Amino acid sequence: MKKVLVTGGCGFIGSNFVRHTLQYHSDDRIINLDKLTYAGNPANLKDIEKNPRYRFVKGDICDAALVRRIFAEEQIDTVVHFAAESHVDRSITGPADFVQTNIMGTFNLLEAAREAWLKDGALHQDCRFLHVSTDEVYGSLGETGAFQETTPYDPRSPYSASKASSDHLVSAYFHTYGLPTLITNCSNNYGSYQFPEKLIPLIINNALQGKVLPVYGDGKNVRDWLYVIDHCEAILTVLERGKIGETYNVGGNSEKQNIEVVHTICDILDEKVGWMPDGKSRRSLITYVKDRAGHDRRYAIDATKIRTELGWSPKVTFDEGMKKTVSWYLENKPWIASVTDGSYREYYEKMYGKR
């Protein structure tokens, strides 16, 4: 049985990972350390919070004493590190939190692992430190090509620069100290429990309320879309079979222009709930707005390495994944309301005390 420290397990990908792993994959024990920022919502894991193999700890990955205590108390042998400030737009208006959590927080976790996994003068090689990162560290592509693991780093936003920095620290701990690390760099995730500030849930939420659908610039920026459960499976695969010290790119085989994504959401909603009260399609809500500063034009992933070396490839197509995702948001309107109006705070303050 592994004793897994998941950081940021109350966020979008982390909560999907915790649920998926407990449900399908193992008898592992999971300790979820999450600070509960605006993006972290304990209600995301309400259905599993009483599972005896699960423990939630509210706290900051930058708190060295707390992290050290968790490693000791729980005899942690595996880390899956999701916790981060993750929204590019927020990193443009307030980069300090990104430097603190994404760089200093990762450093702090690496130090705790290095200390805890030292046995007889050498680091225990059966342990694993898996760092979840992003394709954005590689910069922006032109119309052709795709990011490979060997593509030079060229981050352009405070968010991607902070993630690049954390990747370098993880890599340095492997080369310098022999810490058994793994890094995954994935493309844009989508699915259930994503906070409605990112493109897909924001568009679904606004379209349901008849609000403007803001499309940055000309709407032709391209992202590769990865269904979150496919991503969780990729992480589990890398944990089980990945080679220590290596990086694996994870992609969804679904490159789309932003405007195509927005059209898809409008069309699915029109079909599922009918046209708007004014008799118009939700496409009529689309509004082109001022572009994001330094907006990366295109991301694309070459996932040959994880496919050929570890046997993972995405199972869910974009069309299938988008239908599932829109259905989830339709069936979970109270969840959207609770994370956007702040009432979920009452829930967690009752459960876990005030921050």
Site of interaction with ligand NAD (CB under 6 A): 7-8, 10-14, 33-37, 39-40, 60-62, 82-86, 101, 105, 132, 134, 163, 186, 188-189, 195
Q: Which is nearer to ligand NAD, 123 or 255 (CB)?
A: 255
Q: Which is nearer to ligand NAD, 85 or 230 (CB)?
A: 85
Catalytic residue set: 135-136, 159
At 2, phi and psi to the nearest 5? -85, 150
Q: Look at residues 301, 307, 178, 152 and name the one whose alpha carbon lies nearest to residue 245.
A: 178
> At its nearest, how many Å lie between ligand TYD and the CB of residue 221?
4
Q: Which residues contact 18 (CB under 8 A, 6 or more apart)?
A: 6, 9, 30, 32, 45, 48, 54
* 335 conformational bin, left if phi > 0, alpha if psi -120 to 50, beta if neither: alpha
> At its nearest, how many Å lie between ligand NAD and the CB of residue 98?
10
Binding at 199: pick from ligand TYD, ligand NAD, none (beta carbon under 5-8 Å per type): ligand TYD
Q: Which residues contact 112 (CB under 8 A, 6 or more apart)?
A: 64, 67, 68, 71
> At its nearest, how many Å lie between ligand NAD and the CB of residue 238?
14
Binding at 13: pick from ligand TYD, ligand NAD, none (beta carbon under 5-8 Å per type): ligand NAD
Question: Among all chains, which residue has been given the structure tokens 């032109």?
Answer: 142
Q: Which is nearer to ligand TYD, 57 or 322 (CB)?
A: 322
8 A C-beta contact, residue 31 and residue 57: yes
Residues that bind ligand TYD (CB under 6 A): 88, 188, 198-199, 202, 214-216, 221, 223, 258, 292
Binding at 128: pick from ligand NAD, ligand TYD, none (beta carbon under 5-8 Å per type): none
* Separation of alpha carbons 125 and 113, rounded Å: 12
Binding at 221: pick from ligand TYD, ligand NAD, none (beta carbon under 5-8 Å per type): ligand TYD
Question: Among all chains, which residue has been given the structure tokens 């005899």?
Answer: 75
> At its nearest, how many Å lie between ligand TYD and the CB of residue 188?
5
8 A C-beta contact, residue 14 and residue 33: no
